[in-house]
Structures are given as C-alpha cells and as structure tokens.
Amino acid sequence: MKKINDKTVRVGIGVLVINGERKILLGKRKNAREQNTFALPGGHLEFGESFEECAKRELKEETNLDRLSFETVSLANDVVYEKHYVTIGLLVKNFKGELKLMESDKCESWAWYDKNILPKPSFGPSEKIIENYFSGNFYQS
C-alpha cells in the first residue's frame, strides 16, 4: 500500500442522514485521532467512485442503512491534524433498513439528535456539513 504524504489532498464524504422527526444521525468515534467526537457517517472517496457511490458504501458499512436518494448539500476545504481534505456532504432523507452499529472498532454508538441540541465535541468536518445545510450555505473554507 502506498503511503500518503502530508501534502496529499484527500476527499472525504460525510452523509447527513435526517429522519422523519428531523433528527440527525451521529456516531461517537473511537480508535482515531478524533476519538470521542460525534460525526456523521462517512469516509474516504476511493479511486473511481462517484460521491454517491462512496456515500452509499459508507452508509451501509457503518450503519446498515440504505439510501433511497442523495442530494449534495455541502463543500468544505478542511485542514485538520496536519492533513488537507476536501469534504463533500450528501443529504439523505429517504432511507430504509434497521440502524445497527456495524463497525464497533471505529464507532461506539449511533443515535438520533435534535439539530438544536447536538452532542459535543463534534467532528469538525461533520459540523461544517450540518452548518452549511441548515444555514443554506454550500461552501465553507
């Protein structure tokens, strides 16, 4: 596997899942530099994937949910922990399946939260996606 140097720009995908009660799905991260922060489902775009394919894959791998439709709602330029990411947020309002913790080595739990009472600390890129969507902004540097 090729080692990525610190000057490589990566693409991250965050999936903003909102249920019928207008609550947001967040997971408590573990075993990562950002452990104990709350984040949207998501991950790294793989070579050859579309944004939607990546979001679909990550959502299923992490939560067992299947999306019925996606909408791109956010773009951010994130430099965090000496890494540079372009983060793309996709919205899912229509989904099916039973919510399950699929990667217990990476995530402690998944839960639904009111957008006005989100848990802290938040994972910065996820926070930007949520802010962009609810403020009507698309891009945040």
Q: Per-residue pLDDT for the chain (141 aa), expressed as one digit of tens each? A: 445 556 889 999 999 999 999 999 999 999 777 889 999 999 999 999 999 999 999 999 999 999 989 999 999 998 877 889 999 999 999 999 999 999 999 999 999 999 999 999 999 999 999 999 999 999 977
The answer to whether the Cα torsion of 89, 93, 95, 97 is positive or negative is positive
Residue 112 counted as domain residue? yes
Number of residues that this document lists for the chain: 141
Q: Which two tokens stand for residue 100?
A: 């399950």
Q: Report the C-alpha gap between 139 and 141 in whole angstroms.
A: 7
State the CATH number of the domain containing residue 62: 3.90.79.10
Pairing of the two strands 9-17 and 83-92: parallel
Name the nearest CA neighbour of 59 among 28, 102, 122: 102
Residue 2 counted as domain residue? no
Residue 137 buriedness (CB in 10 A; 0-12 / 13-18 / 19+) = middle
pLDDT of residue 1: 43
Q: pTM for the complete prediction?
A: 0.92
Residue 1 counted as domain residue? no
Q: Decide: helix, strand or coil at residue 24.
A: strand
Number of folded domains that form the chain = 1
pLDDT of residue 6: 64
Per the structure, the complete domain to which residue 65 belongs is given by: 9-140
Residue 60 counted as domain residue? yes
Q: Report the C-alpha gap between 84 and 5 in whole angstroms.
A: 11
Pairing of the two strands 71-80 and 83-92: antiparallel
Question: Are 20 and 58 within 8 A, CB to CB?
Answer: no
